[in-house]
A and B are shown apart, each in its own frame.
Chain A
Amino acid sequence: MSDHVLTLKGIRKSFGGVTVLNNVDFCLKRGSVHALVGGNGAGKSTLMKILTGVYFADAGTIAINDEVTEINSYSDARKNGIGIIFQELSLVPTLTVSENIFLNNEIKRGGVLDKKAMNQRTRELINSLGVDINVEEKIENLDVGYCQLIEIAKALSEKSLILVMDEPTASLSDKETEILFRIIRELKSKGVSIVYISHRMNEIFQIADEISVLWNGRIVASQPTGNYTMETLIHYMMGETNEKAMAWKVRTMPVGNQSILDVRNLTLRGKIDDISFSVREGEVVGLAGLMGSGRTEILECIFGKRRYDAGEIRINGDLTRFRSIDQAIKSGIALVPEDRRRQGLVLVHPLKDNVISTNYASVVKNGVIRANLVRQISERAISAFGIKTNGIQTRMLNLSGGNQQKVVIAKWMNIAPKILLMDEPTAGVDIGAKAEIIEIIRQFTSQGNAVVFVSSELSEMMAICDRIIVLSAGKISETFDHAQIHSEEVLQHAIQK
């Protein structure tokens, strides 16, 4: 028996004439972490869906412990000890944490569900992840980050030989990521092998033993992690390097003196406490902090989504108190929300319907929607933001994460906002699209507009923010000017304090 627990050989897959995977070989060593990287649409998710029986390969073989195996369904994959943590959350929102973890795997006593035992097991699992969640809480009442951890707990509960993690940290805070890495190391020591898919290069260098790079449906590099540097890895991924996009760029237009957005003593009981800051024309202000530090809530108060208990918000000096989102939109405020699938888009609708959904007035003439205006606006968005799509009729669920996010940004640019609020705009987006999004923000501010930028990725905050406000438990703990931040560590340290 070789030390390969999994060997994929010559895997091919095409969808309707488009080759997505072209002769892919992939080996996973027992008890190791093998990272799979590549831009959006490189074929990572497709390869993993073949491994887990969701798709069926056109050609090629899958061998588990050197034995060629047919995997025709997800339950085949499970029987072979393959578990997956889905990028799209696969939890049932109306069931509790423990019901989800034991879904289709319930503990029974004499045919009756043993809720006590299931809750107890779940509590142990969750506690081993170092988090505190009420196991009888329904998923729909929990934040995205917690859901991701529960997803991981669920995969762990199934005792897998091979575990596939598809962007497991996309919605985790740094602290939660640390917890995850600790768990991964423990699993490794128990002989579990892990396929780790991520866009976050730093994480991959921290956790992976080997890295394979998919580019355009082919493996272009597969080596131990030590053989790569950040530059060479990005080079393989991009074809051409563009790591410079993440470097600070001096503004073409300096930040003005006029303050566009003023937040004074904003308070939302239990969430945010006495927050004051202002954003001037052409300025990008970053809100950094762990999940639950009040970042999202501040944006939603400004956007009229939440009522706040105390404080003032001024737009161009005028006191406002929006009672609904459409009032905020009329005042030129846009919010790119945290969860693009749930809050940002109607996934079942085509691109064109999503792009116009913030501003129907822009396509209506004499009360009627003009198809040619819809086409114009959609096509302008596609070219302005470099959205990769078959056309304006393509449904959103058929676009990759990065392109979906660009559509969300496009739909908000359609109201010609003066203030753009962005909540994790690059989560789950590949590095190429990430750089493009950063560039869009630069363009936007060069026209004298203001941006409030929330992100868990400090490197991109450092690339774009003129000022970074660090939040901790709903309060401002520190404020940095761009010039004051010399390294990511400084910021990281402030957030973890």
Chain B
Amino acid sequence: MPSKNKVPGAKVQFKANQYMVYLIFIVVLVFFAIWLGNSFFSMSNLMNITRQTGMISVMAVAMTFVIGSGQIDLSIGSIVALSSLMSAITLQKTDNIFLSVFVALLLGAAIGAINGFFITIVNIPSFLATLGMLSVIKGLAMWTTATKAIAIANTTFSNIFGMGLLFGVPIVLVWTLLSLAIGDFALRHLAYGKKVMAIGGNTTSAIYSGIKVRKLTTLVMTFSGVSAAMAGIMYSARMQTARYTYGEGDELSVIAAVVLGGTSMAGGSGNIIGAVVGSLLLGVINNGLIIGGLNVSQQMVVRGLIIILAVALSTIGNRKKSRS
């Protein structure tokens, strides 16, 4: 039965239920555990999943602010590629870990700030501005390296950002939890988070409240660029090589994770923990299907169906709640 209380003319906001993602996550986890047994549900495989999803999670944290502020960032996948290559080249030339990380993060920040400039000053919709940037940055990554991979010999670098363990915990998980903690704190306890969500909820009202909308939107895009650069560093550290193919299509996984996590595509709200769980959910699905023996094409079909099902379930839960 359709909802009776829809006000004609009201904007339909797509928003997944805030908590449904946790339930779906557990259901999917239990399903794979029963189906695949120990080959899936072992400590080593679960840790493996957190390693594979760490980069998506880190970017999903920043993307929650981007979507919450009413924007989108499609350029992150390319920023991953370029920053991973630049950090690898710097490392090859100087063997200085600090400098290499600094260069990559600065690059991410600069690209994010340029995105912000186009969105807030030139007034290009973020979808188009970052779609263009996706192509420009990807092209630069391929051009500057002549599409060659760059090896990373520095094992300390690899250990810190991708391969190592800290007190027995995979280092990638540590970085994921760190960015989750920072993002969640900023969203809920800093004026920054409140202002960003006010911008996404109603930009006009935010302007009239004296909130510096342009400055903050640029900042949000900058942090998104930084998070993508961080993901690029993590990719190359984990693989001990940098390649221009890293991050390809990641923007879509990141957006899917954020929306699964209960952040409204209409802007104005955000759920950081949900976004990270959303990213883990995608990782679990990928991993389970591989272990389950599906070939690449089958994986794609099933993964897509599961994502649609998961989002559908979330919105059904949401629709019931709004019926009063």
Query: 0/1 per residue, B1-41, Cβ < 8 Å to A?
Result: 00011111110010000000000000000000000000000
Contact check: which of B7, B10, B208, B212 meets A337 at CB < 8 Å? B208
Whether B207 and A357, one on each chain, are in contact in the complex, defined by CB atoms closer than 8 angstroms, is no
Query: 0/1 per residue, B178-202, Cβ < 8 Å to A?
Result: 0000000000111100110110011
If A55-B4, A347-B202 touch, whether A324 touches B9 (CB-CB below 8 Å) is no
The residue on A at minimum CB distance from B7 is A54
Asked if A411 CB lies within 8 Å of chain B CBs, one says yes
Whether A324 and B212, one on each chain, are in contact in the complex, defined by CB atoms closer than 8 angstroms, is yes
Asked if B304 CB lies within 8 Å of chain A CBs, one says no
Whether A364 and B209, one on each chain, are in contact in the complex, defined by CB atoms closer than 8 angstroms, is no
Query: 0/1 per residue, A330-374, Cβ < 8 Å to B?
Result: 000001010000111111110001001110110110011100000
Whether A369 and B205, one on each chain, are in contact in the complex, defined by CB atoms closer than 8 angstroms, is no
Most buried by A among B194, B204, B212: B194
Query: 0/1 per residue, A294-312, Cβ < 8 Å to B?
Result: 0000000000010000000
If A15-B324, A368-B189, A369-B194 touch, whether A343 touches B205 (CB-CB below 8 Å) is yes
Whether A349 and B195, one on each chain, are in contact in the complex, defined by CB atoms closer than 8 angstroms, is no
Asked if A86 CB lies within 8 Å of chain B CBs, one says yes
The residue on B at minimum CB distance from A352 is B194
If A348-B268, A360-B195 touch, whether A342 touches B205 (CB-CB below 8 Å) is yes
Whether A411 and B209, one on each chain, are in contact in the complex, defined by CB atoms closer than 8 angstroms, is yes
Alpha-carbon distance between A328 and B207 when the two chains are bound, in angstroms:
12
The residue on B at minimum CB distance from A411 is B209
Secondary structure type dominating chain B contacts: loop
Task: Please indicate the chain B residues that have their CB under 8 angstroms from the CB of A335 in the complex.
Answer: 208
Considering the complex, which residues of chain A in the window 68-98 have a beta carbon less than 8 Å from any beta carbon of chain B? 72, 74, 86, 88-91
Most buried by B among A49, A88, A91, A346: A346
Asked if A325 CB lies within 8 Å of chain B CBs, one says yes
Whether A358 and B198, one on each chain, are in contact in the complex, defined by CB atoms closer than 8 angstroms, is no
Whether A54 and B5, one on each chain, are in contact in the complex, defined by CB atoms closer than 8 angstroms, is yes
Whether B210 and A345, one on each chain, are in contact in the complex, defined by CB atoms closer than 8 angstroms, is no
If A56-B4, A368-B189 touch, whether A346 touches B205 (CB-CB below 8 Å) is yes
Whether B4 and A343, one on each chain, are in contact in the complex, defined by CB atoms closer than 8 angstroms, is no
Whether B8 and A74, one on each chain, are in contact in the complex, defined by CB atoms closer than 8 angstroms, is yes
Asked if A16 CB lies within 8 Å of chain B CBs, one says yes
Asked if B313 CB lies within 8 Å of chain A CBs, one says no
Asked if A329 CB lies within 8 Å of chain B CBs, one says yes
Asked if B158 CB lies within 8 Å of chain A CBs, one says no
Task: Please indicate the chain A residues that have their CB under 8 angstroms from the CB of B271 in the complex.
Answer: none
Whether B194 and A326, one on each chain, are in contact in the complex, defined by CB atoms closer than 8 angstroms, is no
Most buried by B among A56, A90, A329, A360: A360
Query: 0/1 per residue, B285-324, Cβ < 8 Å to A?
Result: 0000000000000000000000000000000000000001
Alpha-carbon distance between A90 and B6 when the two chains are bound, in angstroms:
13
Whether B9 and A357, one on each chain, are in contact in the complex, defined by CB atoms closer than 8 angstroms, is no
The residue on A at minimum CB distance from B202 is A346
Asked if B206 CB lies within 8 Å of chain A CBs, one says yes
Whether B5 and A367, one on each chain, are in contact in the complex, defined by CB atoms closer than 8 angstroms, is no
Contact check: which of A56, A90, A329, A348 meets B210 at CB < 8 Å? A329
If A337-B208, A344-B205, A358-B209 touch, whether A349 touches B5 (CB-CB below 8 Å) is no
Considering the complex, which residues of chain B in the window 198-255 have a beta carbon less than 8 Å from any beta carbon of chain A? 198, 201-202, 204-212
The residue on A at minimum CB distance from B10 is A88
The residue on B at minimum CB distance from A346 is B201
Alpha-carbon distance between A89 and B4 when the two chains are bound, in angstroms:
20
Tally B residues with Cβ within 8 Å of A.
Answer: 30
Contact check: which of B9, B13, B206, B324 meets A346 at CB < 8 Å? B206
Considering the complex, which residues of chain A in the window 152-189 have a beta carbon less than 8 Å from any beta carbon of chain B? none
The residue on B at minimum CB distance from A52 is B8
Whether A90 and B8, one on each chain, are in contact in the complex, defined by CB atoms closer than 8 angstroms, is yes
Whether B191 and A369, one on each chain, are in contact in the complex, defined by CB atoms closer than 8 angstroms, is yes
Asked if B84 CB lies within 8 Å of chain A CBs, one says no
Minimum CB–CB distance from B194 to chain A (whole Å) comes to 6
Whether B210 and A358, one on each chain, are in contact in the complex, defined by CB atoms closer than 8 angstroms, is yes
Task: Please indicate the chain A residues that have their CB under 8 angstroms from the CB of B9 in the complex.
Answer: 86, 88-91
Task: Please indicate the chain A residues that have their CB under 8 angstroms from the CB of B201 in the complex.
Answer: 346-349
Alpha-carbon distance between A344 and B206 when the two chains are bound, in angstroms:
8
Alpha-carbon distance between A204 and B19 when the two chains are bound, in angstroms:
49
Asked if B269 CB lies within 8 Å of chain A CBs, one says yes
Task: Please indicate the chain B residues that have their CB under 8 angstroms from the CB of A72 in the complex.
Answer: 4
Task: Please indicate the chain A residues that have their CB under 8 angstroms from the CB of B194 in the complex.
Answer: 353, 356-357, 360, 369
Task: Please indicate the chain B residues that have their CB under 8 angstroms from the CB of A346 in the complex.
Answer: 197-198, 201-202, 205-206, 268
Task: Please indicate the chain B residues that have their CB under 8 angstroms from the CB of A349 in the complex.
Answer: 197-198, 201, 268
Minimum CB–CB distance from A78 to chain B (whole Å) comes to 10
Minimum CB–CB distance from B198 to chain A (whole Å) comes to 5
Minimum CB–CB distance from B17 to chain A (whole Å) comes to 15
Task: Please indicate the chain A residues that have their CB under 8 angstroms from the CB of B6 in the complex.
Answer: 54
Whether A357 and B206, one on each chain, are in contact in the complex, defined by CB atoms closer than 8 angstroms, is yes
Whether A367 and B210, one on each chain, are in contact in the complex, defined by CB atoms closer than 8 angstroms, is no
Minimum CB–CB distance from B183 to chain A (whole Å) comes to 15
Whether A342 and B210, one on each chain, are in contact in the complex, defined by CB atoms closer than 8 angstroms, is no
Whether B202 and A345, one on each chain, are in contact in the complex, defined by CB atoms closer than 8 angstroms, is yes
Alpha-carbon distance between A55 and B5 when the two chains are bound, in angstroms:
5
Alpha-carbon distance between A345 and B197 when the two chains are bound, in angstroms:
12
Whether A88 and B7, one on each chain, are in contact in the complex, defined by CB atoms closer than 8 angstroms, is yes
Minimum CB–CB distance from B84 to chain A (whole Å) comes to 33
Task: Please indicate the chain B residues that have their CB under 8 angstroms from the CB of A342 in the complex.
Answer: 202, 204-205
Most buried by A among B9, B13, B206, B211: B9
Task: Please indicate the chain B residues that have their CB under 8 angstroms from the CB of A345 in the complex.
Answer: 202, 205
Alpha-carbon distance between A129 and B188 when the two chains are bound, in angstroms:
50
Task: Please indicate the chain B residues that have their CB under 8 angstroms from the CB of A55 in the complex.
Answer: 4-5
Closest 3 CB pairs of A and B: A90-B9, A360-B191, A346-B201
Give residues in B with beta carbon < 8 Å to A. Answer: 4-10, 13, 188-191, 194-195, 197-198, 201-202, 204-212, 268-269, 324
Q: A357-B195, A360-B194 are in contact. List 16 more A-B contacts (CB 8 A).
A: A54-B6, A86-B8, A305-B207, A324-B212, A326-B210, A342-B202, A344-B208, A345-B205, A346-B198, A346-B206, A349-B198, A357-B205, A358-B209, A363-B191, A369-B191, A411-B209
**Can you sample 25 A-B contacts with CB below 8 Å?**
A16-B324, A49-B7, A54-B6, A55-B4, A86-B9, A88-B7, A88-B10, A89-B9, A324-B210, A325-B210, A328-B210, A337-B208, A342-B202, A342-B204, A343-B205, A344-B208, A348-B201, A348-B202, A349-B201, A353-B197, A357-B194, A357-B198, A358-B210, A361-B191, A369-B191
